[in-house]
């Protein structure tokens, strides 16, 4: 009998070949052109299998995600995460540590957008990037200190390029933002650094002047593969009198990418809706996450994705712009998909039906009947967020640990009383 029991236990263990199986979800994986109900199996932190009908008995942990959407982990390519510096700006108090907010929003990869500069990046890497469970990458600022409120000072393309070469893979490009000087000093420096390293540039264009205009930026200054963020801000004539600026179309034809970067002041309904209606979809949907945006119009990535859903963008296209597209923009093609062998970064999304209101950065409301939410987030094969405890065992079957908090106050050195 003992031999038989041992054999059955061994067979059961052998059958459970996967660490995690997500069952019955609608898988959307744009890179691999998957848009169907399938199962996803994870083993050793990697995608092990994507197929219909994977037996639940083969998973040590199984989550039934019927009625939900299983996607690659969300990649947010415009966040601000360099916090704890003592500075009161985006480099500092306005930035946010990654883990408390990323997983509950379905985000597995954050890309900091220039909060640190070429002088301060080593500190950012040591204190934030290396300690986060979230994958954190970075565009480094061509300004030495980053976004401290002095974005016209200490601009150095050569130093920025040198730091990028020192941290390959983690530094994904260069950022210029909030420049208020004359001419093209900051943009030219970022592009120079980009050329020296074969990395892209992300531009928050700052202020317009007669010389500094959108047509010159998108038609001449930026290269194919560079990124124009805050593309629906309205601050820089992206849409004029309800008509899409031809410079936007020209830039796209040249290969410039257009990123949302919602933020606290860079997404207006009266810009986004006409642009979308005229067929101008963004290439990537990102947050510009910071303390000011998360508590105002932006909220979180699922809320932002919901805005595009109610504007008529198909869910498959939204997923593409939050996974595979940004992975390519930052030149990390190993991310943003569910290919067998890829690191198991997975987001499970739900869509609620009802009556929902959505704010833009100006405080204007737009009503929709759908809302996306993050139900589960898997990072490197580990469930980091499980809103409805789908991967957990029912408490009546759970093996609780024995009480480890009993204290013995008896001192063995003291003689017992007679």
Q: How far apart are CA 406 and CA 6, in angstroms?
A: 34
| Residue 235: pLDDT band with limits 50, 70, 90 | confident
pLDDT in the model for residue 254: 98
Q: Give 372's strand partners.
A: 351
Which stretches of 67-213 are DSSP H helices? 99-102, 121-127, 157-166, 185-197
Tens digits of residue pLDDT in 249-294: 999 999 999 999 999 999 999 999 999 999 999 999 999 999 999 9
pLDDT in the model for residue 410: 63
Read off the pLDDT of each residue in 227-245 and give the average, rounded to a whole number.
95
Q: End-to-end distance of the chain based on CA atoms, in angstroms?
A: 51
Q: How far apart are CA 96 and CA 91, in angstroms?
A: 10
pLDDT in the model for residue 403: 80
Tens digits of residue pLDDT in 8-37: 444 445 567 999 999 999 999 999 999 999
pTM metric for this prediction: 0.93
Average pLDDT across the chain, whole number:
94
pLDDT in the model for residue 411: 61
Tens digits of residue pLDDT in 54-70: 999 999 999 999 999 99
Q: Give me the domains of the chain, ranges plus CATH numbers.
A: 73-341+350-372 (3.20.20.140)
pLDDT in the model for residue 7: 43
Distance of CA 78 to the CA centre of its chain: 8
């Amino acid at each position: 009998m003992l031999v038989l029991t041992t054999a059955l236990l061994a067979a059961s263990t052998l059958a459970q070949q996967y660490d995690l199986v997500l069952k019955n979800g609608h898988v959307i994986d744009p890179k691999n052109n998957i848009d169907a109900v399938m199962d996803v199996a994870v083993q050793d932190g990697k995608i092990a299998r994507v197929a219909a009908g994977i037996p639940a008995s083969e998973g040590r942990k199984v989550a039934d995600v019927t009625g939900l959407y299983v996607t690659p982990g969300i990649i947010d390519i415009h966040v601000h995460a360099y916090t704890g510096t003592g500075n009161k700006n985006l480099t500092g108090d306005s930035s946010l540590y990654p883990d408390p907010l990323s997983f509950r929003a379905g985000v597995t990869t954050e890309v900091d957008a220039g909060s640190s500069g070429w002088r301060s990046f080593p500190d950012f890497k040591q204190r934030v990037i290396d300690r986060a469970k979230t994958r954190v990458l970075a565009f480094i600022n061509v300004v030495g200190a980053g976004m401290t409120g002095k974005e016209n000072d200490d601009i150095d393309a050569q130093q920025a390029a040198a730091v990028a070469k020192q941290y390959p893979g983690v530094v994904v490009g260069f950022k210029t933002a909030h420049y208020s000087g004359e001419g093209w000093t900051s943009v030219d420096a970022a592009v120079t650094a980009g050329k020296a390293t074969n990395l892209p540039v992300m531009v928050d264009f700052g202020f317009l002047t007669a010389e500094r205009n959108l047509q010159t930026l998108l038609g001449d200054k930026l290269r194919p593969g560079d990124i124009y963020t805050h593309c629906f801000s309205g601050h820089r004539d992206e849409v004029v009198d309800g008509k899409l600026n031809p410079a936007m179309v020209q830039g796209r034809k040249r290969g410039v990418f257009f990123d949302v970067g919602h933020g606290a002041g860079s997404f207006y309904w009266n810009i986004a809706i006409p642009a979308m209606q005229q067929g101008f979809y963004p290439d990537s949907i990102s947050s510009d996450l910071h303390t000011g945006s998360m508590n105002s119009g932006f909220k979180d990535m699922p809320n932002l994705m919901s805005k595009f859903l109610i504007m008529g963008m198909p869910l498959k296209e939204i997923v593409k712009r939050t996974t595979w597209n940004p992975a390519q923009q930052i030149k990390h093609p190993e991310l943003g998909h569910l290919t067998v062998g890829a690191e198991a970064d997975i987001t499970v999304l739900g869509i609620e039906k009802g009556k929902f209101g959505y704010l833009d950065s100006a405080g204007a409301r737009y009503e929709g009947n759908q809302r996306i939410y993050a139900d589960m987030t898997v990072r490197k094969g580990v469930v980091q967020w499980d809103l409805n405890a789908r991967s957990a065992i029912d408490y009546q079957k759970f093996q609780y640990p024995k009480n480890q908090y009993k204290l013995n106050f008896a001192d063995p050195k003291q003689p017992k009383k007679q």
